Amino acid sequence: MPRILDGAVIAAAIKQEVAEEVKLLAARDVQPGLAAVLVGNVAASEIYVRSKVQACADLGIYSELITPPETVTTEEMLETIASLNAREEIDGILVQLPLPAHVDTKALLDAVSPAKDVDGFHPVNAGRLLAGRSALVPCTPAGVIEILKRSGIPIAGRHAVVVGRSDIVGKPVAMLLLHENATVTICHSKTRDLGEITRQADILVAAIGRPGFITPEMIKPGATIVDVGINRITDRAEFDRFFLGNAKREAAFAKRGSVVVGDVDPMAFELAEAYTPVPGGVGLLTIAMLMANTVRAAKMRRELPRRGL
């Protein structure tokens, strides 16, 4: 029976560690601070950002929610970022994506001070990660590594295959695995004979953004599967493809008209030694790692010693 790598348990442990770090910083009269910038009224983004703000409150981190209107210009947003860069009580700046089409997303992310870039998207932090130097690392890739380590999954010497090459997940998780001494192969939508490569994986990270893209015949028996994808299904035929006969999912689909599935066909998990479920896996680590990055940024900016996360 495959082992389920429970993201909720690991995220709770990380948040507890962050709360302890916040208490230690309070003894030095330091309170980490996070500013979240949410443009317009996108329901999914609003829910996600408010959950981040709530996590800050739960852990003793100061937070500030900045909500420019949908009509905000790139120039106005750059002024907001410059103001946050200059504020001493703000250690982390989070710009919630996606932004409106008329706003220059790249210019905005590049304007965030690398020292406050808790999303780990700035080219300076990307370069430091590539070089194996201390950096603020993107939250989801960092969460993947935490799941593997805290679940006792060996990384060193194993063949890790990453399916997906995005700057947000695929590339940074590949670098993190490499720094943990895995042998890493990066695949993508243009890779030829993809299944032949994924069948070599001791650790398979699926982050391509396509529902059920990794099928059972693409899995090496006994592999560890880390499914980063979160895809919402509303079509009945597609639902039946993945969850026909699953009473729990059937009830959820009937109630909400949708369910989520990862980038891995659920049938493929039966071949694994261990896997992260969707939901309940990697996604739960993202906010926990954001909190950890905010505390880390607070320490780095003040040249305080790091302990644990």
Concatenating the DSSP letter of every residue in 228-254 gives: ---EEE--HHHHHHHHTT-HHHHHHHH
Set 91, 117, 119, 202: catalytic member: 119
The answer for residues whose C-beta is within 8 angstroms of residue 1's C-beta and 6 or more apart is: none
Pairwise CA distance, residues 294 & 309, whole Å: 10
Any catalytic annotation for residue 263?
no
Beta-strand pair 203-206/224-227: parallel
Set 96, 171, 227, 299: catalytic member: 96
Report yes or no: 262 and 204 within 8 Å, Cβ to Cβ.
no
Q: What are phi and psi of 161, to 5 degrees?
A: -115, 125
Return the SS3 of 71. coil
Any catalytic annotation for residue 96?
yes
Q: What are phi and psi of 248, to 5 degrees?
A: -65, -45
CA distances 97 to 46, 48, 54, 106, 108, Å, are 11, 11, 19, 11, 11
Any catalytic annotation for residue 190?
no
Concatenating the DSSP letter of every residue in 163-180 gives: E---TTTHHHHHHHHHHT
Report yes or no: 106 and 81 within 8 Å, Cβ to Cβ.
no
Say which residue the tokens 């420019």 belong to. 68
As annotated, the active-site residues are: 52, 96, 119
